[in-house]
Amino acid sequence: MTMSAHSHAPAPEQARDLARRVGETMFAVDTASKDTMGMELVSCEPGRAVIRMTVRELHLNGHQICHGGFIFTLADSTFAFACNSYNKNTVAAGCSIEFLKPGHLGDVLTCEGVEQTLSGRHGIYDMKVTNQRGQVIALFRGKSAQIQGTVIPETADAGDQP
């Protein structure tokens, strides 16, 4: 019998494994992020996620820079993966974004999202979007609310490995 048998929180490896599987499952059916926007899920860990997107023609607005809405979308997707990473269905309640620099054609934008607080069903997550030169493009803050249900079946967590 191990110590983790007594704890309510999954052991770190289990939590990381669960987050990774939740992320892969969500991403596989996320047409908007994967197919329409062309994002790549770099990592999904407990309370954290990283997503990358290269600015292509389809992202350009009339000023020939990346539409701010798509920078928001990149951050919002990262937020979704970070706050669903515990396998509790979680939705965005509100978000704010500050745009600091434009994204240009060919720029590789990386968004890293980190949980700031999670208390009961509500959490605050901060996303930072940087370009390939390490410049901060945007800062996004999201507020999450857990709802009913899980992303992947809970039985899948337990596994039935011998």
Give yes or no for a contact between 138 and 110, defined as CB atoms under 8 angstroms apart: no
Binder among 92, 114, 152, 156 for a second copy (CB under 8 A): 92
Q: Which is nearer to a second copy, 11 or 58 (CB)?
A: 58
Contact between 105 and a second copy by CB under 8 A: the answer reads no
Helix (H, G, I), strand (E, B) or coil at 22: helix
Q: Which residue in this structure is represented by tokens 């269905």?
A: 89
Q: Which is nearer to a second copy, 11 or 32 (CB)?
A: 32
Contact between 40 and a second copy by CB under 8 A: the answer reads no
Buried b (16+ CB within 10 A) or exposed e, 3-14: eeeeeeebeeee
- Interface characters, 56-85, with a second copy (x: CB under 8 A): -xxxxxx-x-xxxxx-xxxxxx--x-----
Contact between 96 and a second copy by CB under 8 A: the answer reads yes
To which H or E segment does residue 72 belong? helix 68-83
Q: Which residue in this structure is represented by tokens 């980190």?
A: 114
Binder among 4, 9, 12, 91 for a second copy (CB under 8 A): 91
Q: Rounded distance, CA 151 to CA 26, Å? A: 7
Binder among 30, 40, 45, 157 for a second copy (CB under 8 A): 30
Could you tell me which stretch among 10-18, 40-48, 118-126, 154-162 binds a second copy (CB under 8 A)?
118-126
Give yes or no for a contact between 25 and 152, defined as CB atoms under 8 angstroms apart: yes
Contact between 160 and a second copy by CB under 8 A: the answer reads no
